[in-house]
């Protein structure tokens, strides 16, 4: 078994016993990247010499000491490119500082290693929107890995990384984890610092881990959480030891099954695997309870008003003046702005900027943006009411398995609906995890299915407890 295909837990045991060294792990991961990345397209860049230098100085007494972690390319790491999968930042931007999450990783002994491919500025659910390359699903190279953290998920599932960081605005950690067959955790909004994460939609974005096991996700969450004074949305709350949720039984826990999430239109195989997962949890002692989340049907439309509105404001800073792509064809200042943005941004980013600018414009703000904010409140209240009677909520992570590359290229609305079960969790700011729950056969190939487990605000502990119990069963 290669070191790159091992779990954090097993590698830490071997490191502490001095059976292997951090240098061994970095070299093994680098060899896997060298051999397979041309095929998978998971990494954009990687610096082996820098990682080896850090490995030689790794503090093995720390909980993640000596473990290399791949980083999504919208999280700043000192001295490394941070392109966000966009031509806009490809030419002349090198990160001058570490993001809050990177500082936390380093403090726990981990080694940031490699920049993972992603949909441009995290806008997409297939990683086909990257300006540089297409990432492929390790389970079937003709299919998408999901997105926007597609490179992060493909690297873990394809054993090109031990674990990675992603970001999740509407499902961008959980959905690719589900489609690639690994574990993806989105914490409560504010649990992990967003300082140094290039903003897409500031009220929705959250960093989280993509791992091979639930226990590894708990280990990374321990390292990443905590108040950061540089992020005003970072929560000053107690951080439990999430690894204590591992190995616990779930007898008596109430599992909410929203009737709006188990409807026609879901892929038959996905529906069957999720129902089997529910039966497995029931056999472990959990109590299924039917609940209602009545505003589910407005979740996608609400998201695609709020997120583009925030994106249009956040991406206004990329004007080709201070940093970013700068057009050489402009004759005056206005043309400079127009051409720099026209050349630097890809089609999906332009689509969302235009949509966001429209819903914020005079005469349309009340009709769209303000109404969407009210709908968001109703969605959050649906969850609050549901959690009065249940401990966690279960659903499919994605309504379908991974589709073929290019299948939805000319149908953005269908692509947006891929996140129908993950988007409400972001709108409500809740923690959610996707764990593998079997496979479905398509064209003779077994494709992974993800089970989504959603918890109360700041109750990642129970989410991990249920996810681990299911994984072990």
Annotated catalytic, 148? Answer: yes
The Cα–Cα gap between 138 and 160 comes to 10
Residue 92, both tokens: 């002349």
Query: Of these residues, 72, 104, 186, 212, which one is catalytic?
Result: 72
Q: How many other β-carbons are positioned within 10 Å of the β-carbon of residue 358?
A: 15
Query: Of these residues, 108, 172, 395, 398, which one is catalytic?
Result: 172
Q: Tokens 């649906």 — which residue?
A: 382
The Cα–Cα gap between 382 and 293 comes to 5
Annotated catalytic, 172? Answer: yes
Half-sphere exposure of 464 (CA within 13 A, CB side): 28
Pairing verdict, β 287-291 and 183-186: unpaired
Annotated catalytic, 301? Answer: no
- Please spell the DSSP secondary structure of 200-253, one letter per residue: SSTTT-EEEEEESSHHHHHHHHHHHBS--TT-TT--------GGGGTT---TT-
Q: What are phi and psi of 286, to 5 degrees?
A: -75, 155
Name the CA radius of gyration of the chain, rounded: 21
User: Is the CB of residue 351 less than 8 Å from the CB of residue 412?
Assistant: yes
Length in residues, the chain: 473
Query: Of these residues, 101, 148, 152, 434, which one is catalytic?
Result: 148
Half-sphere exposure of 442 (CA within 13 A, CB side): 19
Q: Tell me which residues are annotated as active site.
A: 72, 148, 172
């Amino acid at each position: 078994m290669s070191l790159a295909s091992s779990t954090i837990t097993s590698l830490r045991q071997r490191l502490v016993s001095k059976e292997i060294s951090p240098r061994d792990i970095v070299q093994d991961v680098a060899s896997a990247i060298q051999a397979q990345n041309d095929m998978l397209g998971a990494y954009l860049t990687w610096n082996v010499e820098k990682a080896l230098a850090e490995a030689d100085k790794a503090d093995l007494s720390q909980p993640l000491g000596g473990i290399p972690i791949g980083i999504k390319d919208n999280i700043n790491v000192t001295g490394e490119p941070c392109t966000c999968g966009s031509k806009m930042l490809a030419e002349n931007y090198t990160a001058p500082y570490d993001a809050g999450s990177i500082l936390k990783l380093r403090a726990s002994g981990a080694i940031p290693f490699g920049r993972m491919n992603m949909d441009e500025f995290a806008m997409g659910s297939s990683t086909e929107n990257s300006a540089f390359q297409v990432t492929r699903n390790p389970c079937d190279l003709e299919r998408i890995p999901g997105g926007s953290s597609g490179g992060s998920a493909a690297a873990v599932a394809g054993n090109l990384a031990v674990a990675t960081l992603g970001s999740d605005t509407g499902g961008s950690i959980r959905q690719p984890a589900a489609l690639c067959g690994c574990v993806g955790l989105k914490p409560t909004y504010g649990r992990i610092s967003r300082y140094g994460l290039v903003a897409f939609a500031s009220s929705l974005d959250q960093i989280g881990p993509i791992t091979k096991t639930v226990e590894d996700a708990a280990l990374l969450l321990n390292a990443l959480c905590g108040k950061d004074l540089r992020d005003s949305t970072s929560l000053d709350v107690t951080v439990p030891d999430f690894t204590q949720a591992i190995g616990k039984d779930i007898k008596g826990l109430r599992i909410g099954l929203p009737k709006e999430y188990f409807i026609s239109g879901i892929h038959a195989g996905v529906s069957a695997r999720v129902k089997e997962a529910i039966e497995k949890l029931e056999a472990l002692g959990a109590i299924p309870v039917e609940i209602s989340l009545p505003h589910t049907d407005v979740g996608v439309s609400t998201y695609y008003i709020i997120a583009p509105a925030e994106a249009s404001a956040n991406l206004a800073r990329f004007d080709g003046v201070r940093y970013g792509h700068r057009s050489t064809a402009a004759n005056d200042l206005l043309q400079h702005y127009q051409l720099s943005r026209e050349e630097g941004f890809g089609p999906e980013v332009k689509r969302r900027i235009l949509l966001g600018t429209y819903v914020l414009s005079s005469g349309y703000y009340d009709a769209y943006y303000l109404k969407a904010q009210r709908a968001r409140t109703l969605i959050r209240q649906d969850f609050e009411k549901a959690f009065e009677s249940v401990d966690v909520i279960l659903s499919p992570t994605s309504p379908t398995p991974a589709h073929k590359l290019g299948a939805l290229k000319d149908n953005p609305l269908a692509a947006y609906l891929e996140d129908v079960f993950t988007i409400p969790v972001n709108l409500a700011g809740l923690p959610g995890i996707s764990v593998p729950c079997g496979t479905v056969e398509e064209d003779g190939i077994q494709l992974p299915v993800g089970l989504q487990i959603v918890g109360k605000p700041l109750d990642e502990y129970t989410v991990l407890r249920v996810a681990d119990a299911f994984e072990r069963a």
